Structures are given as structure tokens and as C-alpha cells.
Amino acid sequence: MKKIKILLTGANGQLGQCLLHLGGFSEIVDWVPTDYDELDITNREEVLNFVNSYTPDYIINCAAYTAVDQAEKEYDKALRINADGPENLAIAAKSANIPLIHISTDYVFSGQSFKPYVETDKPDPQGAYGKTKLAGEEVLLKTGGKIIIVRTSWLYSEYGKNFFLTMLRLGKDKQSIGVVADQIGSPTYAGDLATGLMKIVQYDALHEGWLSAPEIYHFCNTGVASWYDLSVAVMEIAGSTCEVKPLSTEQYPLPAPRPAYSILDTARFRNIFWPEIPYWRSSLRCCHEKYELLTHRI
């Protein structure tokens, strides 16, 4: 059987790493992993030439500017990576007639809702990062072609920089920490998102013609938590005695505004691709086991 060739951008990031380390797909997938050094997604000519010469069957775009606070000072740079980059990939995908799977964020919403956000809810980003990610979505919808935008939230993994790894470090170094308790969302293990993305690829490979226009889906682990809840759960799993104290958003000011309510409704994703997305606490345990293996602790 011919392998599915997937061009992966941002392969050194946490989601890119989770995709590359996903078990069970090596028989069917031939990855073309790239990060900034191999393929700068903001360079249109480079992107078009790359896609022409490697002839992938899919593009999964994990490349992004993700420094939420720094984006307030570097809006133009963030916009180039989060909007011009995806536009270049979409143009290349459209001319090759292949699907582009692009990752977006809960930060496109205001965070002032009281019920889980569905795909058709009106975006209203509050900070620079969210604005650049929304600009990326808009340019993909305008370019058209076989586009799948997957919005996710509160991503963490055993790779890169993220809240889970920060809590593990603080749990070793500190006797007590304060963590914001009045912002809620759905923590999402990047390993599960990677599985979800591969389920999209498998679905597409089996249902030719189902994707004729851009589509948006929401993906996050099931269940809801505050950052405080997530921190307490990490400490428990890691066996840390570090005390976690709840803080209000006002007590922990940051340069970029954070959504108070970040829950995404995943019914659309579950109905088509993966009915039983795991609960966040079980995925957190799974991530911790992977972390222990990675750091040779077990």
C-alpha cells in the first residue's frame, strides 16, 4: 500500500513532536518534517517550491508564533507567521489540490461566554496573538480549497515549553506557588490532538470528495478545569508536596488579556472523527507517563 506523504511544518514544536512520535502510524505515513530552518512558511516562493518538489498528499501546519504576551510587542512578526504563513501554505495546497490542516486557538473568542463555543460563534479576540490567529483563519477561508481549521485550547505535552512542564519544574523547586483559579478551559494533551489530526487524515483518505470547501472544527480534551485545578492535578500526579494557592486574574497581571471562559464545544469533531475524546485527567496521566519515559525516569 502506498504511504500517505504528509508535509509537517513547525515539526520542532510541541504538537509537531507529538505527531512525529505518535505510535501506530509509521506503516502508513511518510512524514516530511520541517521547521523554520528547512521551510520558512512566511516565504511564499520557498513554500510553493517545496510543495512542488516534495508532492505531499497533505499539509499539517503546526508552525506558529505562540508567545502570547510577546505578541503584544511583536504584532507584525506574529501576523507574518500566523496569517501570511498559512496563506502561503493554503495557496500551495490549493494549487496541488491537497488538504491543508491548520491549527487555531480558543483565543479567537472573547472568553466572555457562559456556554461552550461552537464553530459558528462570532470570534472576538482580545489580544494580539488571538487577532493574528483569527487573521490566519480568515485568510484560509478566503483562499479556499481543501482547508480544515482545528481550533484547540490549553495545549501541553512532554515536549517544548508549556504549563505542564512549568508546573513539574516549580513542583520540584518551590514549596508553594499561586495559580489563577478564575479562568476556565479544557486542558488538551497535544498527543491527543495529534491523534485527532490523524483521524481527520484517515477519514479524508477513506471519503474522497467529502471536503470541497473550508471547514472549522473544535478539538480539546473533555472536561473543564481552571489553571489552579490543572496545577493541583500535575502536583498530585508528580507526587510533589508543593502547595498550590488559588489566585484571581487581578492578582496575576500579564501583558496580554486571557479569556476567562475558554471552553470549546467539540460535538462537530466527535460526530465525524472521534466520538470518545479522552477526559483531561486521564490524558494528563498519560502525558506524565510519556514524560517519565522520555526523561528515563521509568
Binding site for ligand NAP (CB under 6 A): 9-10, 12-15, 35-36, 40-42, 62-64, 66, 81, 85, 103, 105, 133, 152-155, 160
Nearest approach in angstroms of CB 259 to ligand NAP is: 11
Please identify, using beta-carbon distances, which residue of 40 and 158 lies nearer to ligand NAP: 40
Active-site pick, 65, 117, 129, 189: 129
Nearest approach in angstroms of CB 2 to ligand NAP is: 27
List C-alpha distances in Å: 285 to 33, 239, 280: 28, 12, 9
Please identify, using beta-carbon distances, which residue of 210 and 294 lies nearer to ligand NAP: 294
Contacts of 112 (CB under 8 A, 6+ apart): 259, 260, 261
Please identify, using beta-carbon distances, which residue of 131 and 133 lies nearer to ligand NAP: 133
Nearest approach in angstroms of CB 295 to ligand NAP is: 18
Closest-CB residue for ligand NAP?
13
Nearest approach in angstroms of CB 235 to ligand NAP is: 20
Give the 3-state DSSP-derived string for the chain, with helices as H, strands as E and coil as C. CCCEEEEEECCCCHHHHHHHCCCCCCCCEEEEECCCCCCCCCCHHHHHHHHHHHCCCEEEECCCCCCCCHHHCCHHHHHHHHHHHHHHHHHHHHHHCCCEEEEEEHHHCCCCCCCCECCCCCCCCCCHHHHHHHHHHHHHHHHCCCEEEEEECCEECCCCCCHHHHHHHHHHHCCEEEEECCCEECCEEHHHHHHHHHHHHHHHHHCCCCCCCCEEEECCCECCEEHHHHHHHHHHHHCCCCEEEEECHHHCCCCCCCCCEECECCHHHHHHCCCCCCEHHHHHHHHHHHHHHHCCCC
Nearest approach in angstroms of CB 79 to ligand NAP is: 12
Please identify, using beta-carbon distances, which residue of 147 and 239 lies nearer to ligand NAP: 147
Nearest approach in angstroms of CB 137 to ligand NAP is: 11
129 part of the active site: yes
Please identify, using beta-carbon distances, which residue of 136 and 145 lies nearer to ligand NAP: 136
Please identify, using beta-carbon distances, which residue of 153 and 231 lies nearer to ligand NAP: 153
* Distance of alpha carbon 164 from alpha carbon 80, whole angstroms: 28
- Residues designated catalytic: 129
